[in-house]
């Protein structure tokens, strides 16, 4: 009788442990998935912020008319420290921010542009010279 | 002995159910929060590009400024679009008439020139002039938002006509057409 009782308790404990471990495994998997998603959203929003800022300054210089000048800064990394590239592509009227295998595109209102097309970290000046937008670092 | 078995089975099953319910609830809250982020960002996107497009139309002449006289209406020949004659908020009716005549065949070019290029983004542009009593349409360009349209952004700008200095109203609607159940 005593032995039988011991046997029962052990089996129950083992089943309980297996179930608890299974639950923790599920919890960990879900939590890791959410962490990845959150990191992805943060990166996307940070890249979007930079692309929209560059596009807004260029569009604003265009709308403001001849002689309008805008200055803005490009950060070294995205908010989580990821490296990125900023390209101002006149012919496709786009500002592209690329990080890893992903990309965000902000629209431009003009294709008439000169100057730097690949922007690095630091201060950028945008000038409207008789309708031509000049981008320089 | 019977008590032990009860504790194991009933208590544990209840605890398990609570855990599963919490897990499902947290998953639901997470999905709703993520969707809300994308929805809000989509709305901000639409607001930003419609304001830019409306400002471009009423504050610039376009580049080249004689774009309305060009036989080719495409994004290669025209660097940027604008409706002003020679200064901001002075609308050139010849340019409005040219836009109106191009309406049916150049919707995609309009979208490119106005920077309305997000996924499933659509627009409608209404330009009307005040005759002393009411506003009469000079141009109706683009589509109308249908039942699946979400986040319709309406931007209104006032200017004056270059021909008779009457009030001219530019209304731009920009929205995202939804595909499927989700729309963000």
A13 versus A112: the higher-pLDDT residue is A112
B60/A56 touch (CB, cutoff 8 Å), yes or no: no
pLDDT of residue B8: 64
Distance CA B152, CA B155 (A): 10
- Residue B126 near residue B137 (C-beta atoms within 8 A): yes
State the pLDDT confidence band at B178, using cuts at 50, 70 and 90. confident
Give the CA dihedral B18, B24, B25, B27, nearest 10 degrees.
140
pLDDT digits (tens, 9 = 90+) for B36-91: 988 898 899 999 999 999 999 999 999 999 999 998 888 899 999 999 998 899 99
Domain containing residue A28: 2-136
What is the overall mean pLDDT for chain B? 88
A63 touches chain B (CB under 8 A): yes
Asked if residue B183 is part of any domain, the answer here is no
Determine the residue of chain B that is closest to A65 in CA distance.
Answer: B60
Per-residue confidence (pLDDT) for residue B149, from 0 to 100? 80
Number of structural domains in chain A: 1
Query: In which band, very low, low, confident or very high, does the pLDDT at B15 lie, cut at 50, 70 and 90?
Result: confident
Q: Is the dihedral of CA A27, A28, A34, A37 positive or negative?
A: negative
Which chain B residues touch A131 with a CB distance below 8 Å? Answer: 63, 79-80
> pTM above the 0.90 mark?
no
Q: Which whole number is the average pLDDT over B106-115? A: 92
CA distance B130 to chain A (A): 25
> Is position B143 within any domain?
yes
Q: Which residues of A touch B13 (CB under 8 A)?
A: none
Which token pair is A130?
């008789």
Distance between CA atoms of residues A125 and A82, nearest Å: 24
In this structure, is residue B164 part of a structural domain?
yes
Share above pLDDT 90 across residues of chain A, in percent, rounded to a whole number: 70
Mutate to test the interface with B, among A110, A113, A133 (most CBs of B within 10 A): A110
Query: Quick one: three-class SS letters along B13-55?
Result: HHHHHHHHHHHHHHHHHHHHHHHHHHHHHHHHHHHHHHHHHHH
Task: Please give, rounded to a whole number of angstroms, the shortest distance from the CA of B142 to a CA of chain A.
Answer: 18
Q: What angle do CA B40, A40, B118 make, to 5 degrees?
A: 45
Helix or strand holding residue B99 (H, E): helix B93-102
**What ipTM does this complex have?**
0.83
Paired tokens of B69: 């006289």
**Domain presence at residue B182:** no
Say how far apart CA B70 and CA B109 lie, in whole Å.
Answer: 14
Evaluate whether residue B88 is within a structural domain. Answer: yes
Q: Per the CB < 8 Å rule, is B56 touching A48?
A: no
Whether residue A51 lies within 8 A of chain B, CB to CB, comes out as no
Strands A85-89 and B135-142: unpaired
Quick check: is B18 in a domain? Answer: yes
| Domain membership flag for residue B184 | no
Three-class SS state of B75: coil
- Read off the tokens for A13: 């404990």
Q: What's the rounded Cα separation, in Å, for the pair B151 and B184? A: 9
Please name the residue of chain A whose CA is at the shortest distance from the CA of residue B8.
Answer: A12
**Is the Cβ of A26 closer than 8 Å to some Cβ of chain B?**
yes
Q: Does A30 touch chain B (CB under 8 A)?
A: yes
- Test B117 with A41 for CB contact under 8 angstroms: no
A121 to chain B, minimum CA–CA distance in Å? 24
Contacts of B135 (CB under 8 A, 6+ apart): B128, B129, B167, B169
Q: Answer whether residue B101 is part of any domain.
A: yes
Task: Provide the residue range defining the domain that includes B95.
Answer: 2-177
Select the residue of B1, B4, B80 nearest A109 (Cβ to Cβ). Answer: B80
Site from B54, B80, B114, B184 to mutate, A interface, most A CB atoms within 10 angstroms = B80
CB A106 within 8 A of CB A58: no
How much is the average pLDDT of B166-174? Answer: 95
Q: How confident is the model at residue B179 (pLDDT cuts 50, 70, 90)?
A: low
Give the closest-approach CA distance of B45 to chain A in angstroms: 9
Question: Are residues B75 and A93, on separate chains, in Cβ contact within 8 Å?
Answer: yes
- Total structural domains in chain B? 1
pLDDT for A1 equals 47
Q: Is B18 in a helix, a strand, or coil?
A: helix
Looking at residue A115, what is its pLDDT? Answer: 87
């Amino acid at each position: 009788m005593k032995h039988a009782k011991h046997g029962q308790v052990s089996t129950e404990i083992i089943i309980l442990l297996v179930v608890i471990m299974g639950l923790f495994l599920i919890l960990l998997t879900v939590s890791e998935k959410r962490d990845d998603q959150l990191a992805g959203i943060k990166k996307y929003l940070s890249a979007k912020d930079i692309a929209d800022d560059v596009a807004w300054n260029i569009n604003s210089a265009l709308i403001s008319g001849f002689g309008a000048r805008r200055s803005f800064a490009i950060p070294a990394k995205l908010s989580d420290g990821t490296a990125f590239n900023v390209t101002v592509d006149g012919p496709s009227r786009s500002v592209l921010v690329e990080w890893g295998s992903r990309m965000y595109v902000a629209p431009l209102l003009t294709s008439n542009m000169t100057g730097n097309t690949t922007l690095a970290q630091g201060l950028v000046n945008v000038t409207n010279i008789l309708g031509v937008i000049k981008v320089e670092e | 002995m019977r008590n032990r078995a009860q504790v194991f089975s009933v208590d544990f099953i209840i605890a398990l159910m609570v855990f599963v319910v919490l897990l499902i609830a947290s998953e639901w809250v997470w999905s709703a929060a993520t969707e809300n982020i994308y929805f809000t960002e989509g709305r901000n996107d639409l607001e930003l590009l419609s304001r830019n497009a409306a400002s471009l139309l009423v504050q610039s002449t376009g580049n080249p400024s004689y774009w309305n006289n060009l036989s080719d209406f495409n994004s290669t020949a025209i660097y940027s679009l604008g409706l002003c004659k020679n200064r901001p908020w002075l609308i050139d009716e010849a340019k409005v008439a040219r836009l109106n005549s191009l309406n049916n065949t150049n919707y995609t070019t309009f979208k490119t020139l106005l920077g309305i290029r997000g996924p499933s983004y659509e627009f409608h542009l209404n330009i009307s002039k005040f005759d002393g009593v009411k506003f009469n349409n000079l141009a109706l360009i683009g589509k109308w938002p249908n039942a699946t349209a979400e986040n319709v952004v309406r931007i209104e700008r006032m200017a004056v006509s270059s021909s008779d200095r009457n009030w001219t109203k530019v209304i731009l609607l920009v929205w995202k057409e939804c595909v499927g159940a989700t729309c963000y």
